[in-house]
Structure 1
Amino acid sequence: MIRATKRRRIAFFLLCDILIFAFSIYFAFLLRFSGDIPEIFIPGMIYSGAILLVIKIAMLWAFQIYRVPWRFFGLNESRKITLACLLCAGIFFGIFLSYEEIFAPFPRSVIIIDALLSAIMVGSLRISKRALMDFKKAKNGKPCVIIGSTSKTLQILKGLKSGYANYYAVGIVDGRKDLVGTYCDGYQVGHKDELKSYIEDGVKSAIIALKLMPNELKELYDELDTLGFKDIKIFSLIGQKNEGITDISIEDLLARKPKDLDSAAVESFIGGKVVMVTGAGGTIGSEICKQCLKFGAKELIMVEHSEYNLYQINEATNADERNRLVMLNITHINEFDFVFSKFRPDIVIHAAAYKHVPLCEFNPLIAVQNNIMGTKNVIDLAKKYETKKVVLISTDKAVRPTNIMGATKRVCELYALNSNTNSTEIVAVRFGNVLGSSGSVIPKFKAQIAANEPLSVTHPDITRYFMLVSEACQLVLQAASIASGGELFVLNMGEPVRIADMAKRMLRLSNKEHLGIKFVGLRPGEKLYEELLIDPNDVATKFESIFVTKSQSYDIDLLNSQISDLLQSQNDAEVEQRLKLIVPEFNHNKNRN
């Protein structure tokens, strides 16, 4: 069916072009002689017309003009047709000079007149059908207004005309005064203040064609939402995460985009090094792995206890030849020792940990073994094999912890920051939630929306800090690049976000506000507010998003003894009691609120 349609299209174009080329030479002679062709020139006209027709058809075929469907005909094809016709004129002129007696008498100016007429008529035939198709499709779907007069706008309009999305444009607005009143593909650009009039006319859809920072996008989205636009989309260029006309995601609105991301610093730190990443298949670990490969790691030792997660990160990095896949539980010291002795890593980034607060509350013994023993094994083996730098990934929940997970991570910080040697620099980097991480609130809300269920929020006033995982991980590597050992770095996560507000926004983005929000009470160990990460006394670094905070010194021998006792705990009460000996500020919130 498709081949038959293609053959019919080619046959149609060939027939039309043959007629056009036959008439174009005649019209060229008419123009040359002001509408009255002397009989003596008619033989030359016929001979030249026949030769030019064959040359033009062959040249258009060589330029693949006959393979272009109506809907794809554009400026590039118009240029090809013009070039083909001019080349035909040049070829014929060469033939004419070689066999001038055959055509004589023959006015040479006809050659260029014919070329121009042929290009105009062949192009006009194709453009006329394209224009008719665009006109027919112009009002299919829902009316929408496009925000911004940019190169993206032209792509949106082209896509809408070709039926890419179920919309048709009724106008373009822009807040930049220098663009108001100009024309974009036939639309006069109006001022953004005109948006209200579109709402009054019944237009409820808007497509954003501007490149905006997350805070700017949030501000524009709120403005459109307040005005009454119910269907708000954004256009992303090819090569970005989402391509084409897509929904605005909650990640788009919450992302912070730090201005001090320094690829050169990370490349200098990672490039040419053997890097080990524990917890390589987790949200943080997998992004760290991707960035280490991107910034030129010599070898990447991916340590992960989950077979599936290890498989996934290897696939996500296209099974890079630098990948070394190690399926291992890092609490198994002997097997882990063998891995260190085999690969001798220059840098270890320790991201492996149990991080889900309620699960750690229900399994405190396992949380202690995995988080604290695992971290101790990493640090002890790194020192044994003289790894140059160890980076511990920590959390805001380690600040005055109220849950088992946070307390274990604080113990990990204390052990790491008091274990430096001359040959091994050990640092910790503390930050808040990353957007979309496994087990976090955003994937949970998305699943509830997909299931048409109300969104479960623990408390109306609960807040959290958020950052994109890619940006958080690059800042972690940047912090490590300037570390000298013993520092506790803190990432500036910006302002905290009310989870209830985020839930409402996600419902609006999904056009499912009717689902509503259900408040279920704080879970065991959960804080209402995470501690403010950046303290006025923290020391700034050369990167504005990275600070160094104070961390108490701790006798490492005493800490080793206390950890040994902690790991021998027989029940949950002993775990809590021994954690409080190491972390006196641990105020365990066991009950729901």
Structure 2
Amino acid sequence: MKLGRRTTSRIGWQPPLSDAAVVALAWLASFVFRFSLFSNNAPANIVHIVVFSLPLAVAVWSACLLGFGAYRTPWRYTSLPDVRRLATAAGVAALALAAALLIARLPNFPRSIVFIHPLLASVALLALRLAARMRAERTSLGALRESAQPLLVLGSLDDAAPVLQTLRGSHQWRAVAIYSPVPAEAGRSLQGMDVLGPPLKLGAAAQQLGARHALVAGAAGSAARRLLLEQASDARLALLTLPRADDWLHAGPAGANAAPRNLELDDLLGREAVQLDVRGLSELLAGRCALVTGAGGSIGSELCRQLARFGVGRLVCLDVSEFAIYQLEQELKARHPELPIVYLTANVREAERLRQLFGAHQPAVVFHAAAYKHVPLMEEDNAIEAVRTNVLGTVNAARAAAACGARRFVLISTDKAVNPTNVMGASKRLAERALQAVAREHPDTRMVAVRFGNVLGSSGSVVPRFAQQIAAGGPITVTHPDIVRYFMTIPEAAQLVLQAGLMGESGEIYVLDMGEPVKIVELARLMIRLSGKTEDEIPVVFSGLRPGEKLYEELLADDETTLPTPHPKLRVARHADADTQALDLAALGRAITPADSAPGPALPRPEPGGDAVKALLATLVPEYRPQIRPAHPAAAASSFTPSPAPAANQPDRARTHP
């Protein structure tokens, strides 16, 4: 009863009193329905029966309605859960009232009343609530029609239904119709909304309804959705979509982020959400220290966000860039103010510095995302820097993780490591082999590599460059009309990296399911459409393949196969001669470590040129097919003679920034 008093005071007395009146009228109507009060077949004590039983019926029904939460939701927001609660309360009230009447033993009481009354009362109570909701919606829609912008919903009936529910509370947008890609659904109706579709053109439908905006419903990546988007962009409709789950989660008190937002590229190319082993990841990460190298980069920063979600005890963010680590600090402080986070600036090529930092923080899990990844930039004069950072940095980080007793070490690799044609890809393939060699040295730390393709919106990718070119008025430059790449979103890539780190066996290389490859020229055209422009306004021009670039990226080498894993989006790459691929890490270190980092007197020598680095990589990565430039006088003068002294883990003190 105490709960009932609090509930009643919170909702007011009007709804319970209205329901009590309805129950009373239904009780009287039941007797009228059973027999006329003015006919001769009514019992002599009918007035006594009605007078005695009416308060009992009202009391029992009111108590059940209150007890089963029939007043938790205001009537104007009545939904299916409220109908179910009402039905439950009505059923219990009918049984309780029948039991009370049986105990009371009223003489000549018509038993059929206990069956007739629940039906009449339930229908009347439900009608009262539906009428209140219809009145509220009519009032709300009347106000919305004055200020809200008309919106066309794109999607099938199943996709559009939840969208219409979400839009009911919007004061900015007003759904005017549904355009379905399923021809059989055209001409039907959903929640009072007309359903349009082929053969009526989308542009013609929008023009008839006066809609200049379209909201895209349904799962990302489907062919039907892609076709709708192309038609919408051809009709010059501004494209919207519902917010992501994170947007709802971080919406302010007024729900500012919960309103429909502009469609973004990853909404077009995105796929179904990754299903993570949340329990296993929580057991691995919760309460423990996790360290991320390259934490200021696209993948590294997203890994930090995901790790914070899983409740790590302490997060260590390491990057060579002061500005990148500062930006990450500002973001994570705002999002996770209570999480202990350490921000470090360090170069992964400095082995001793890494060993000290890892020893001080004792990470249980290390994610190694630090790398040089820009293909043309690393192809010639910077080739040795790519090898030193990508290969030597991986060896240093893996050994430091093993020395501090880390349980897991995960290397972020790339699809460009497969049959590489450029220095960056060859250096990442060599880093994979180096990691496997370190894994054999330190069996107590489970070390794996995760190989995936391009990530939408990552630094250095085509998406930010295309966006800048569109903002500047074009043109968009694409290297070749047939060039294709695999794409995934940054959160998806980071989540699959976490999953691989959880279940990987030491020395394994994991390949992510990248879906279908995307033509870069089609990607450019999609971005033009999303900007509201046409190819006449923003032309696409072809500039030719850049050094080291190939038309088609691969996820497996010619002599590799894959084995399935418990996760549908992860497979293990198996090399045909994996057992015979022994890599001499000491010799590798002497070959690529700068001469002035060796102990003893410095051995003066010029830095190795791009062709010399490519020749070395070709001997260490058999599948690498380098693109050697014609000899240049300056390049010819540079010989690549390995320094005999330094070990693989010697720090590069001459260059504090790679």
TM-score by length of structure 2 reads: 0.66
Please point out which of 246, 249, 268 is paired with 1:253: 268
Structure 2 distance, partners of 1:546, 1:225, is: 40
Change in 2 beyond 3 A, CA 1:195/1:509: farther
Equivalent position to 1:582, from 591, 616, 625? 616
Deviations 1:478-507 (A, max 9, x none): 77766664x776656465534443232123
Report deviation, 1:523. 12
Kindly indicate whether the alpha-carbon contact (under 8 Å) linking 1:196 and 1:227 is maintained by their aligned counterparts in 2.
no
Map of 1:231-250 to 2, 5 A cutoff?
248-250=263-265
CA distance in 2, matches of 1:121, 1:105: 27
Residue of structure 2 aligned with 1:374, choices 390, 393, 397: 393
The one of 144, 154, 159 equivalent to 2:161 is 154
CA distance in 2, matches of 1:391, 1:87: 58
1:60-87 per-residue CA deviation (whole Å, 9 max, x = no partner) reads 4444444532331133333434444554
- Say whether residues 1:131 and 2:134 are aligned partners: yes
Residue 77 (structure 1) aligns with? 82
Q: Which residue in 1 is equivalent to 2:370?
A: 352
Q: Determine what percentage of the aligned residue pairs are the same residue.
A: 27
1:432 partner letter = G
CA distance in 1, matches of 2:406, 2:109: 87
Alignment partner, residue 144 of structure 1: 152
Q: Whole-Å Cα distance in 2 between the matches of residues 520 and 172 of structure 1?
A: 34
SS at match of 2:458: coil
| Matching of residues 283-294 of structure 1 within 5 Å | 283-288=298-303
Equivalent residue of 2:478, what SS?
coil
1:541 positional shift: 1.5
Paired residues of 1:10 and 1:66 also in contact (CA < 8 A): no
Look up the match of 1:454: 473
Which of 163, 168, 172 is residue 175 of structure 2 equivalent to?
Answer: 168
What's 2:567 paired with? Answer: none
Partner of 2:453: 432
Superposed CA deviations along residues 202-254 of structure 1, whole A, max 9, x for unmatched, are 35666555446x25355443564488583555568978989886654321332
Matching of residues 273-422 of structure 1 within 5 Å: 276-288=291-303, 303-304=318-319, 306=325, 308-309=327-328, 312=331, 325=342, 327-329=344-346, 330-341=348-359, 348-355=366-373, 364=382, 370-371=389-390, 373-381=392-400, 390-396=409-415, 409=428, 412=431, 415-416=434-435, 421-422=440-441
In 2, distance between residues paired with 1:491 and 1:9?
A: 53
CA contact (8 A) 1:461 1:528 kept: no
Task: Give yes or no for the alignment of 1:23 onto 2:57.
Answer: no
Code of the aligned partner of 1:70: W
CA contact (8 A) 2:202 2:232 kept: no
1:116 aligns with 2:116: no
SS at match of 1:375: helix
Inter-partner Cα distance in structure 2 for 1:311 and 1:580? 40
How much does 1:461 deviate? 2.7
1:351 Cα deviation from its structure 2 partner: 1.3
Superposed counterparts of 1:547-562, under 5 Å: 547-548=573-574, 556-562=585-591
| Contact 2:422/2:549 (8 A) holds in 1 | no
Distance 1:27 1:356 in 2: 81
- The C-alpha deviation readout for 1:501-533, integer Å capped at 9, x for no partner, is 323212323435489437799799776546632
| Contact 1:274 1:299 (8 Å CA) reproduced | yes
> Any residues of structure 2 matched to 1:431-580 within 5 Å, and which?
431-443=452-464, 453-454=472-473, 457-459=476-478, 461=480, 463=483, 464-473=485-494, 485=507, 493=514, 496-513=517-534, 516-517=537-538, 529=550, 532-534=553-555, 537-543=558-564, 547-548=573-574, 556-565=585-594, 576=610, 579-580=613-614
Contact 2:155 2:225 in 1 (8 A): no
Q: Secondary structure at the match of 1:542?
A: strand
- 1:560-591: CA deviations, max 9, x gaps? 223223777999975646634534636579xx
Report the residue type matching 2:25 in the other structure: F
The answer to whether the Cα contact below 8 Å between 1:271 and 1:295 also exists between their aligned partners in 2 is yes
Q: Answer yes or no: is the 8 Å Cα contact 2:595–2:604 preserved in 1.
A: no
Question: C-alpha deviations, 1:326-375, integer Å up to 9, x for none?
Answer: 63513443342234445666764421224456887999597676555533
CA offsets 1:48-106 (integer angstroms, 9 cap, x no match): 334444554454444444453233113333343444455445555555455557xx665
Letter in 2 for 1:34: S
C-alpha root-mean-square deviation of aligned residues, in Å? Answer: 5.5
With over 3 angstroms needed to count, the CA separation of the structure-2 counterparts of 1:197 and 1:496, relative to structure 1, is closer
> Aligned in 2, Cα 1:13/1:434: closer, same or farther, shift over 3 Å?
same
Cα-to-partner distance string for 1:22-63 (whole Å, 9 max, x where unaligned): 433332222222362668523442343344445544544444
Structure 2 distance, partners of 1:426, 1:55, is 68
Q: 1:520 and 1:571 mapped to 2: Cα distance?
A: 44
2:133 aligned counterpart, secondary structure? helix
Q: How many residues align?
A: 571
The alignment partner of 1:374 has SS state of: helix
- Looking at structure 2, the residues matched to 511 and 446 of structure 1 have their Cα atoms a distance apart, in angstroms, of 12
Which residue matches 2:228? 221
Instruction: Point out where structure 2 has 5 or more consecutive residues left out of the alignment.
Output: 1-7, 250-257, 565-569, 598-602, 619-625, 631-658
SS at match of 1:128: helix
Residues 504 and 144 of structure 1: CA distance in aligned 2, closer, same or farther (over 3 Å): same
2:237 aligned residue: 230
Q: Is the 8 A contact 2:412 2:450 kept in 1?
A: yes
Distance 1:241 1:304, change over 3 A: farther
Would the aligned equivalents of 1:415 and 1:559 in 2 still touch at CA under 8 Å?
A: no
Partners of 1:338 and 1:8 lie apart in 2 by 61
**Is the CA contact 2:416–2:553 (under 8 Å) kept in the aligned structure 1?**
no
| Counterpart contact for 2:359–2:403, Cα < 8 Å | no
8 Å contact kept, 1:492–1:547 = no
Secondary structure at 1:167 match in 2: strand
Give SS of 1:508's match: helix
Alpha carbons 1:71, 1:130 under 8 Å: kept: yes
Q: More displaced, 372-381 or 489-498?
A: 489-498
Contact residue 434 and residue 585 of structure 2 kept, 8 A: yes
SS of equivalent to 1:537: coil
Instruction: Check conservation: 2:218, 2:225, Cα contact below 8 A.
Output: no
What's the counterpart of residue 3 of structure 1? none
- Return the letter of the residue paired with 2:518: V
| Residues 577 and 182 of structure 1: CA distance in aligned 2, closer, same or farther (over 3 Å) | closer
Q: Which moved more, 1:20-29 or 1:264-273?
A: 264-273
Q: Are residues 494 and 74 of structure 1, via their aligned partners in 2, closer, same or farther at CA, if it must alter by over 3 Å?
A: closer
Normalising by the residue count of structure 1, what TM-score does the alignment of the two structures yield?
0.72
1:125 counterpart SS class: helix
Secondary structure in 1 matching 2:411: strand
For residue 32 of structure 1, what is the aligned residue in structure 2? 34
- Structure 2 vs 1, CA of residues 577 and 461 (structure 1 numbering), >3 Å: closer, same or farther? closer
**How much does 1:434 deviate?**
1.3
Give, in whole Å, the separation in 2 of the partners of 1:230 and 1:341: 57
Q: Does 1:42 align with 2:24?
A: no
